[in-house]
Structure 1
Amino acid sequence: MSTTTMNPPRRPYSPKQAIERARRGDLGAWPVVGGLVAIAIVFGSLNEHFLSPENLTNLALQMAATGTISLGIIMVLLLGEIDLSAGSVSGLCAVVMTILNVRQGWNPVLAIAVAVAAGAVVGLVQGLLFTRIGMPSFVVTLAGLIGWQGLLLYLLGERGTVNLPFDGFVAKLSDTWLPPWSAWTLALALTGVYGGSLLLSRRLRRAADLPVGPAYWAAVRAGGLALVLAAAVLVLQADRGVPLLLVIFGTLVVVLDLVLRHTAFGRWMYAVGGNAEAARRAGINVTRIRLLAFVLSAALAAFGGILAASRLAAVNQSSGGSDILLMAIAAAVIGGTSLFGGRGRTYAALLGILVIQSITNGMLLLNVDSSVRYMVTASVLALAVAIDSLARRGSAR
């Protein structure tokens, strides 16, 4: 079994290695970054409001809920599977949380915990149907998409809509902004964590007698992150400040990335996605890893649904519906997660949802018809899959 099967995709430890990977067709996140720059230039020139602090703050609020759902989608995509029920699960669990909090008078934190746990149970049920009975994940989650949507409608009853108190804990999640000192402290802490992660990786690679890139390259990467975070804080502080929803989403991205890259569970995820049979022969409990992936996917979908309910201060019959599922899957793929399994990072959700929401937001500012928005989004998704296919072909060669 090759070593690449047992490890997450190797990151470039020097500019030379990055160039070599690009020649093989593995461009990493650079196409997405280039796309974001192009989007900013195009829409910024067509509408001066696009790059305003107010619009960028709204963009940060819009991406948190769907981005969280996309994180869960990445968990199953890493295994080469799919979860089509994520949208329905997000709406269902948001309804469960709202009913417990509003109609039953439960403490909001306890209601949120129960709703996320309900999502995890849904993921466990779907994972068992996939692993124990052998049903394809496409069919299992497609049935879940329909069934959980039906349960949502049943729980809502004839009223159809349940409003959350505007001054309540849940609604305040989307209306809370970090003070300047807190935002700058958080940016500094994130830079420190990232720099520490790079140093830890260098130390572990040296201990394992593996090649280590130049120290200046790690400093350049940490400095680049610091500049990006500083720019984001400056822009958001020019309006209402850094929204708590963005902090929650960013924290999930960082924590899950550390889990996937620095724990045995994360390496097992990549191993199973790269070659399930080889992973099984290496002693990895493939069934358990698949179950955990589906549980994580549904739990993150549930939390994403709660964030969406917080922003709307209500749940209704369309919660978790519309194009939320499609946008979550598209965000994961556009961000660089492979549909074939074994390759991807949680940062894909952050980059992908930023691309999707930027395009949608920019076209809304230009009053572009919905039909055109859907076709543009489809084109971007097709381009991302094409790049992924070319990268796999180059790696195979």
Structure 2
Amino acid sequence: MTQAAAITREPYTPKGALDRLRHGDLGAWPVVGGLVAIAVVFGTLNEHFLSPENLTNLALQMAATGTISLGIIMVLLLGEIDLSAGSVSGLCAVVMAILSVRQGWNPLVAIVVALVAGALIGLLHGLMFTRLRMPSFVVTLAGLIGWQGLLLYLLGQGGIVNLPFDGFVAKLSDTWLTPLAAWLLTLVLVAVFAASNLVTRRMRLAADLPVAPTWWLGVKVAGLAVVLVAAVAVMSADRGVPLLLVIFGTLVVVFDLVLRHTAFGRWMYAVGGNVEAARRAGIDVRRIRVLAFVLSSTLAAFGGILSASRLAAVNQGSGGSDILLMAIAAAVIGGTSLFGGRGRTYAALLGILVIQSITNGMFLLSVDSSVRYMVTAAVLALAVAIDSLSRRGGTA
């Protein structure tokens, strides 16, 4: 069963959760358990790990790669892959930096042009995949190499473009919400979440569809409130809630709403679950696939801009190193299926939180990076194994 069908048929209730568990669908619980284990282990080994300063740094670090991971989720939902996301993020960041610094363009205009460039790259990938019937692996692998080459060409012999520390782009990563703004934002988020669930409940009742009990809605709202209050309290004890985290969180929420409450989102899940059935149902499969690649590259471009903001520069290594691998790993570890048709945008948030926590904890313990790679690989392999077993249980 695709996630779209599950959402339409039955709300998330305690009984529904137990049914999903019996059928092998563990949801986000393994990731949550992993985060608790990481917090306990590293918090015990190093008292600085759970300090407000370190947790605030952790929130700041995960925004850029998490945004790229959010884009990768769009193509993973279709059962495809985008290997070019890292190179696209670096290239679009370079385009933004060259236009704003060397050409003297307004930073906002330069950002928009960079995002448009990312969207056009995604459009090209999507057309090559759908029109030429080239495997997405080959299309985006060529993109990984080609866009990296264009990045080096644009940078030229200098190899680096520094962004003004007091400029708009650099300020994105050095802006913090005041305590009042953070608490007001928390109140608004909880209120919107509660209102959204109430509206959904009334619509389901009006359509004579099953609904969760009222007390369960209260539990969900209270749970969200506890998590947000704890996060804001911890970060407010240091510099405050970083703007980058707010931007990333907003993207996660917006795309989750799009996937769960729009026709486009249902079509995405339908195409990922069964292409032929989606085609027979009248869904324009080709257009959905192209849009998925456009979204992936656009979000990769935005992630590259956020990364450039943190470094206040772009260079020949922008979008390189292990950014692509970490973005893909975050999506899979967070619960997005490699087989398509199942996953939520919150996978990007949960997955990148797991990866960054492991990286951060090992850094505090002065563990060699080789060990970090091996641990991350083991976590990724475990996530894929759980996904495979879950699918086997669901079809049994």
Give a deviation string over 1:52-104, Cα, whole Å, max 9, x none. Answer: 00000110111000000000000000000000000000000000000000000
Secondary structure of 2:104's aligned partner: coil
Distance apart, 1:204 and its partner CA? 2.6
- Mapped pair 1:262 → 2:261: yes
Q: CA RMSD in A?
A: 1.3
TM-score by length of 2: 0.98
Secondary structure of 2:131's aligned partner: helix
Amino acid at match of 2:336: T
Distance apart, 1:195 and its partner CA? 1.5
Given that residues 11 and 210 in structure 2 are in contact (C-alpha distance below 8 angstroms), is that contact kept between their aligned partners in structure 1? Answer: no
Given that residues 9 and 344 in structure 1 are in contact (C-alpha distance below 8 angstroms), is that contact kept between their aligned partners in structure 2? Answer: no
Match of 1:298 in 2: 297
Q: How many residues align?
A: 396
Give a deviation string over 1:87-134, Cα, whole Å, max 9, x none. Answer: 000000000000000000000000000000100000000000000000
- Structure 1 Cα separation of the partners of residues 284 and 110 of structure 2: 33
Secondary structure of 2:366's aligned partner: coil
- Structure 1 Cα separation of the partners of residues 156 and 324 of structure 2: 23
Match of 2:195 in 1: 196
Distance apart, 1:7 and its partner CA? 5.8
Match of 1:361 in 2: 360
Name stretches of at least 5 consecutive residues in structure 2 with no aligned partner: none
Match of 2:395 in 1: 396
- Structure 2 Cα separation of the partners of residues 352 and 3 of structure 1: 21
Match of 1:61 in 2: 60
Amino acid at match of 2:142: A
Distance apart, 1:13 and its partner CA? 2.8
Runs of 4+ in 1 over 3 A off after TM superposition: 2-12
Distance apart, 1:41 and its partner CA? 0.2
Match of 1:51 in 2: 50
**Distance change in 2, residues 1:115/1:8 (3 Å):** farther
Distance apart, 1:12 and its partner CA? 5.5
Give a deviation string over 1:166-203, Cα, whole Å, max 9, x none. Answer: 00000000000000111011111111222122223222
**Distance change in 2, residues 1:328/1:4 (3 Å):** closer
- Mapped pair 1:38 → 2:37: yes
Distance apart, 1:28 and its partner CA? 0.6
- Structure 1 Cα separation of the partners of residues 3 and 355 of structure 2: 30
Within 5 Å, give how 1:32-111 maps onto structure 2: 32-111=31-110
Match of 2:114 in 1: 115
Amino acid at match of 1:44: G
**Distance change in 2, residues 1:3/1:208 (3 Å):** farther
- Structure 1 Cα separation of the partners of residues 73 and 2 of structure 2: 22
Given that residues 8 and 267 in structure 1 are in contact (C-alpha distance below 8 angstroms), is that contact kept between their aligned partners in structure 2? Answer: no
- Mapped pair 1:228 → 2:214: no
**Distance change in 2, residues 1:132/1:123 (3 Å):** same
Match of 2:247 in 1: 248
TM-score by length of 1: 0.98
- Structure 2 Cα separation of the partners of residues 196 and 121 of structure 1: 37
Give a deviation string over 1:283-318, Cα, whole Å, max 9, x none. Answer: 111111001000000000000000000000000000
- Structure 1 Cα separation of the partners of residues 307 and 4 of structure 2: 37
Match of 2:342 in 1: 343
Match of 2:373 in 1: 374
Given that residues 173 and 244 in structure 1 are in contact (C-alpha distance below 8 angstroms), is that contact kept between their aligned partners in structure 2? Answer: yes
Within 5 Å, give how 1:300-319 maps onto structure 2: 300-319=299-318
- Structure 1 Cα separation of the partners of residues 228 and 87 of structure 2: 33
Amino acid at match of 1:231: A
**Distance change in 2, residues 1:98/1:207 (3 Å):** same
- Structure 1 Cα separation of the partners of residues 231 and 84 of structure 2: 33
Given that residues 59 and 242 in structure 2 are in contact (C-alpha distance below 8 angstroms), is that contact kept between their aligned partners in structure 1? Answer: yes
Match of 1:153 in 2: 152
Distance apart, 1:271 and its partner CA? 0.5
Distance apart, 1:11 and its partner CA? 7.0
- Structure 1 Cα separation of the partners of residues 181 and 30 of structure 2: 32
Given that residues 7 and 267 in structure 1 are in contact (C-alpha distance below 8 angstroms), is that contact kept between their aligned partners in structure 2? Answer: no
**Distance change in 2, residues 1:48/1:104 (3 Å):** same
Given that residues 62 and 352 in structure 2 are in contact (C-alpha distance below 8 angstroms), is that contact kept between their aligned partners in structure 1? Answer: yes
Amino acid at match of 1:72: G
- Structure 1 Cα separation of the partners of residues 37 and 340 of structure 2: 28
- Identity within the alignment, %: 80
Amino acid at match of 2:386: I
Secondary structure of 2:351's aligned partner: helix
Secondary structure of 1:283's aligned partner: coil
- Structure 2 Cα separation of the partners of residues 174 and 381 of structure 1: 29
- Structure 1 Cα separation of the partners of residues 232 and 2 of structure 2: 40
Match of 1:25 in 2: 24
